[in-house]
Structure 1
Amino acid sequence: MPDDAQPSIPSPALSEGEAAQARARAGATPAAGPQDAVPEPPAVPAYLQQYPPETAAYMQPQSALQMRQQQQWQQWQAHQHWQQQRQKKAQEPPAWRAGVRPAPPARIRAASLWAVLATALLSALFLGDGLGPNLLIVAVPAALGAYFAAQAAGRRLRPWTLVWGLGGLALLAIPALRDAGWPTFLAVLSALALGSLALHGSRSWAGVLIGSVGIVGSLVPGVRWGWRGVRERASGSRDRWGPVIRTGAIAVGLLVVFGALFVSADAAFAKLLGDLVPDVSVGEGPWRFLLFLLGLIGALAAARTAAAPHQWDKAKIKPGRARKRLEWAVPLIVLNLLFAAFIGVQLAVLLRGYEAVLDETDLPIAEYARQGFWQLLWATLLTIVVIAFAKRWAPRGGARDHLLVRCVLGVLCLLTLVVVASALSRMNMYVDAYGLTRLRISVAAMELWLGVVIVLIMAAGVFGARWLPRAVAASAGAAVLAFGLVSPDALVAERNVARYEKHRTIDVEYLQDLSADAVPALDKLPEPLRSCALDAIREGLDADAPWYATSRGEQRALDLIKERPLDERAAQCRDLPVGDNGDDYR
């Protein structure tokens, strides 16, 4: 039989005798009898892949071509097996994801459903007119819904969970106290992060970083979970929903009828009720409905996270490869020497006085201060990054390696604290020369918080680093809270007014961009500067805003302007000289 000839293929439906005759015609070896050893059936050649295995099993290799075909068939089988395993592995979640995936939550409790509904209704009623105490009003039932869901899941209230929860609620008090938009934005953002941490209960770096935004992953699952719970309860207790709906409808009807009578009967009661109850018009229906949906989805996400949070602490971060002592320590020692040299120059400047150094550099003192502050801020931030990577690749051979790491990184942290003090000193010089602005107080607060982080890192080197992630997150929340309570706009106004009293120079145009928090300080300016500075701020105030959308800073500003009306000469503000506040565009 020629090598390139292909044998005929018997049908799998042939009888045993016909199959034997077919094999004989094809030149195949007769099948072994019962007394002979039965060999392993060969694999189907590559050119027989379109036929069933039982058909190709009759073919026995009789030539080099058939042997090559058998090898090709075996390779094809191995490739098919590899593809199946690959597809199976692709369908399975990664190991880290399987470890952090939460267990299926239990059915949502009725208390959580009522709290979620209250959150949605309050969102629709109170969040449409601005920010103020209404954020706290909406957050309380949402927190209660999450608490009921966690209690139903068997979770206990731990100390750090209480810290995150109370810290988030405290941050939501900033919009109720301050009118400035930027501290309010930071406070609301930080409150959401702390609330997410309270729901997850994380303690590791991965848990704190991912858990602070982990509630976002529960938005869609929370809606499905709540809808499933409502359906199950509605189908199982239809007789109980009828009386509840009828009772609620009767109560609402009585309130509307008798409330309308009392409002028309007494003007004082009508004013009190008008101040307490939100004024909702039909034209605001779509906007209020959107707020209702946002409150509903957010509250369901919080409850769903509390019932079954992701276990982000189980996400294992592969440690870095430990370096040898010399390879690890030499770059850090060189960096420490550079820091020490810089600090030595700073000490020389302090001993000789800034004037002597500035005479050599031909720079004004304010320019000298501004030129160095931003570089020192970046140096502090990059030092924290260097410490993190150095700790990851530190040698871990024993006690001597541990002592080396603590000494080298401890010296670097101490030198960095001196750099932080130098940066803050430069900013103080710059503020004395040109006054305080929002940007300057913000970056100074950032530098101060980075110094606190350095101190926490040093404490972790002494007492252990298990608590460090949560301590850094808590310090960030506390910094945002303190920043809002200090009222940066009021502080900017106070420093600029004090600078005017001392140097008789002030940037009125910049002060007009401040919020109502600055009104008490600007009210001390003489006329027409006072009216010029307050005129733009007064235009941004809304005397008719409801109580739940008015901050304490706005209310105080309205009272001060009402007590001392602005001078008519405020229209001549454009003729007043504008002082230099040190910004490049001035």
Structure 2
Amino acid sequence: MSATSSPAAPPPGPQWDPYTYRPAAPAPQPFQWLRASDPDRKAPATRRVVGLALAAGVLTSWLLADALGVNLLLCGLVTAVGAGIAARAAGRSVRPWTVVWSVLALALLTVPALYEADWAVVLSGVCALGLASLALHGGKRWVGVLLALPGLAWQLVPSVRWARTGLRGLRLPGGRGKAVSVLKAALVAAALLAVFGGLFVSADAAMAEVLEDLIPRVELEPGDLPQHAFLFCLGLLVSLGFAHIAAGPRRWDRTVVRPGRPRGRLEWAVPLAALNLLFGAFAVIQAIVVLGGRDAIMAKTGMSRSEYARQGFWQLMVITVLTLVVVAVAHRWAPRATESDRRLAKLLLGALCTLTLVVVASALGRMWYYVDASGLTQLRLWVLVVEIWLGVVLLLVIVAGARRAAGWLPRAVLLSAMATAAVYGLMSPDAMVAEQNVARYRSTDRIDLRNIVGLSLDAVPALDRLPADQRACALSLVTRGLTDGPRPWYATSLSESRARDLLAARPVTDSSEACDRIGFDAR
């Protein structure tokens, strides 16, 4: 072979390592440990499913343009009916967990109809979408549950192609002439109702009031058209997306997740044992503090009650979350070849979770101490709820570790999370914040109105019980966004209706002067 000749091509077949004279290992691929499952065969789209999707788009465009209230629940029910028809056409049966997730999703959709707190309403809506997706996909493993929750997101575009493909093969009963007759009849009926309805409204005031309450007038300005078009497309896509899932869901539970390679006992157990010793030392110190060392620490450092309570809370919360991450990672790579390996893993992880409950209790105690010193706010209530839920998750992990079968854990953790979100929304967090601050004012004759800033109309009944100046100033802070006239019934929550009645009976007149008299800057 000459010096300028090109090297010979490698022979076909597996490549050989020139140093070990063995077949070379294939190059690692990204996400090699995860292999997605194939979706089930989908049933074709039907006229009813597409018609209900169009109705959901119209309802969304018409009802959701003002605000959130009963309208979100109505749109959700229409979407649920369309998904149910698609599932029935595909021959799918209803399972118990499907009912559980669906009922919980509908319960979350009732929050906007009852209360006005923005954060609770947004959280409830997002959780309801995830639960509806899980109800249609199904799933009981971690991978199945976690991938099914956002499953609607990647079904929106394919659902349009699915609906278009399904409608191509359909034939209208009676042919084109029948369709034209139906369209003509609908147009004539709409014209007759418009003419005679207008005459009835102008002839009788009671009839006009009833019709205006039940069928509000749609007054479209040119600037409102993009908003209504966006809402129509959103409602249509969401409804088609859920129907597309119901017609043939991707079974995320069938996704293959290869187990992690078990590590040696020494490199795995020593770090966990050291972490357990650190957590144990923290638990002992906290016991000493609870038994009387808190006052000595405050006297030595010169910290106030609020400063001591606030110190370290966020760090303790981060420690709780990181502990759950450590438990998940350690469980994946723990040695499990022998019974002693499995017993050691359960012992170390169970001890770590148990000691982490002390961290949760310490964080809750600090936050409650802080609330007692400075009052309750939206953020403080939210972190209290999250910390309590993290404690529940730790208890579930401990129970799962003590039992042989832990297949129930993913759904139990998700159920606890969604139930916490539902309880948080339905307990009216803003009203609870206002109640606590009013009760604190009655016992201490002091109220920090900075805790009231940002509350919604849910807080009006509690703040209405304050003395005159504090009442006028506090109510002016929570009613700034209240419109002059009532919104349509479908966009009005029960909380807003109650607040309007209270303010109509006892209006707020001199709010700025009241804030000046109590020394609060309301700007």
Q: Determine if the TM-score, normalized by the shorter chain, exceeds 0.5.
A: yes
Matched residue type, 2:467: P
Q: Does 1:242 align with 2:180?
A: yes
Q: Within 2, Cα distance between the matches of 1:139 and 1:504?
A: 46
Contact 2:452 2:477 in 1 (8 A): no
Q: Within 1, Cα distance between the matches of 2:376 and 2:511?
A: 27
State the 1:390 CA deviation. 1.0
Structure 1 range deviating more: 105-114 or 140-149: 105-114
Q: Does 1:179 align with 2:124?
A: no
TM-score, normalized by length of structure 2? 0.90
Contact 2:335 2:341 in 1 (8 A): yes
Q: Within 1, Cα distance between the matches of 2:240 and 2:259?
A: 37
1:21 aligns with none
Q: Within 2, Cα distance between the matches of 1:95 and 1:333?
A: 31
Q: Within 2, Cα distance between the matches of 1:436 and 1:76?
A: 73
1:59 aligns with none
2:470 aligns with 529
Matched residue type, 2:90: A
Q: Does 1:549 align with 2:491?
A: yes
State the 1:251 CA deviation. 2.9
Matched residue type, 1:219: L
Q: Within 1, Cα distance between the matches of 2:442 and 2:360?
A: 30
1:111 aligns with 48
State the 1:295 CA deviation. 0.9
1:571 aligns with 513
**Alpha-carbon deviations, 1:55-76, whole Å to 9, x = none?**
xxxxxxxxx569x96x85x628
1:514 aligns with 455
Contact 1:528 1:570 in 2 (8 A): no
2:303 aligns with 363
Contact 2:40 2:251 in 1 (8 A): no
Q: Does 1:467 align with 2:411?
A: no
Q: Within 1, Cα distance between the matches of 2:343 and 2:11?
A: 57
1:406 aligns with 346
User: Any idea what SS the aligned residue of 1:75 has?
Assistant: coil
State the 1:96 CA deviation. 8.6
Q: Does 1:396 align with 2:336?
A: yes
Q: Within 1, Cα distance between the matches of 2:214 and 2:33?
A: 51
State the 1:278 CA deviation. 3.2
State the 1:133 CA deviation. 0.8
1:253 aligns with 191
Q: 1:230 to 1:379 in 2, by over 3 A?
A: same
**Alpha-carbon deviations, 1:352-402, whole Å to 9, x = none?**
252233223332222111102112111111111111011011111122222
State the 1:419 CA deviation. 1.5
Residues 249-328 of structure 1: pairs in structure 2 closer than 5 A? 249-283=187-221, 284-328=224-268
Q: Within 2, Cα distance between the matches of 1:356 and 1:97?
A: 54
Pick the structure with greater CA Rg: 1
Residues 343-362 of structure 1: pairs in structure 2 closer than 5 A? 343-362=283-302
2:18 aligns with none
Residues 193-272 of structure 1: pairs in structure 2 closer than 5 A? 193-234=130-171, 237-272=175-210
Q: 1:160 aligns with which of 97, 117, 122?
A: 97
Q: Within 2, Cα distance between the matches of 1:232 and 1:574?
A: 72
Q: 1:435 aligns with which of 347, 350, 375?
A: 375
TM-score, normalized by length of structure 1? 0.81
1:170 aligns with 107
**Alpha-carbon deviations, 1:327-375, whole Å to 9, x = none?**
3222112211111111111111122252233223332222111102112
Q: Within 1, Cα distance between the matches of 2:193 and 2:100?
A: 40
Q: Within 1, Cα distance between the matches of 2:208 and 2:301?
A: 71
1:87 aligns with none
User: Any idea what SS the aligned residue of 2:257 has?
Assistant: coil
Which residues of structure 1 form unaligned runs of 5+?
1-63, 80-92, 580-586
User: Any idea what SS the aligned residue of 1:246 has?
Assistant: helix
State the 1:302 CA deviation. 1.0
State the 1:145 CA deviation. 0.7
State the 1:185 CA deviation. 0.8
Q: Within 1, Cα distance between the matches of 2:127 and 2:261?
A: 34
State the 1:510 CA deviation. 4.2
Q: 1:526 to 1:567 in 2, by over 3 A?
A: farther
Structure 1 range deviating more: 344-353 or 188-197: 344-353
Residues 9-88 of structure 1: pairs in structure 2 closer than 5 A? 75=9
Matched residue type, 2:207: F
Q: Within 1, Cα distance between the matches of 2:453 and 2:513?
A: 13
State the 1:538 CA deviation. 2.8
Q: 1:212 to 1:266 in 2, by over 3 A?
A: same
Q: 1:261 to 1:286 in 2, by over 3 A?
A: same
- Larger relative CO (CA 8 A, sep 6+): 1 or 2? 2
Contact 1:234 1:241 in 2 (8 A): no
Contact 2:320 2:390 in 1 (8 A): yes
Contact 2:375 2:451 in 1 (8 A): no
2:479 aligns with 538
**Alpha-carbon deviations, 1:266-324, whole Å to 9, x = none?**
21121121112133123133322221111111111111111122222122222111123
State the 1:570 CA deviation. 4.1
Contact 2:73 2:110 in 1 (8 A): yes
State the 1:577 CA deviation. 2.3
Q: 1:291 to 1:509 in 2, by over 3 A?
A: same
**Alpha-carbon deviations, 1:167-198, whole Å to 9, x = none?**
11111111111101011111111111111111
State the 1:258 CA deviation. 2.6
Q: Within 2, Cα distance between the matches of 1:362 and 1:401?
A: 49
Q: 1:257 to 1:569 in 2, by over 3 A?
A: closer
Matched residue type, 1:281: E
Matched residue type, 1:212: L
Matched residue type, 2:490: Y
Q: 1:414 to 1:103 in 2, by over 3 A?
A: closer
Contact 1:125 1:278 in 2 (8 A): no
Percent identical residues: 47
Contact 1:500 1:506 in 2 (8 A): yes
1:23 aligns with none
2:88 aligns with 151
Q: Within 2, Cα distance between the matches of 1:504 and 1:523?
A: 16
Q: Within 2, Cα distance between the matches of 1:261 and 1:214?
A: 50
Matched residue type, 2:470: L
Q: Within 1, Cα distance between the matches of 2:294 and 2:335?
A: 43
Q: 1:475 to 1:118 in 2, by over 3 A?
A: same
Q: 1:440 to 1:98 in 2, by over 3 A?
A: closer
Contact 2:396 2:413 in 1 (8 A): yes
Q: Within 2, Cα distance between the matches of 1:102 and 1:263?
A: 54
Q: Within 1, Cα distance between the matches of 2:340 and 2:114?
A: 53
1:83 aligns with none
Contact 2:70 2:110 in 1 (8 A): yes
Residues 86-125 of structure 1: pairs in structure 2 closer than 5 A? 99-125=36-62
Contact 2:36 2:256 in 1 (8 A): no
Q: Within 1, Cα distance between the matches of 2:492 and 2:326?
A: 45
Q: Within 1, Cα distance between the matches of 2:158 and 2:172?
A: 21
Q: 1:189 aligns with which of 113, 117, 126?
A: 126
Contact 1:96 1:315 in 2 (8 A): no
1:490 aligns with 431
User: Any idea what SS the aligned residue of 2:459 has?
Assistant: helix
Q: Within 2, Cα distance between the matches of 1:328 and 1:200?
A: 36
State the 1:257 CA deviation. 2.6
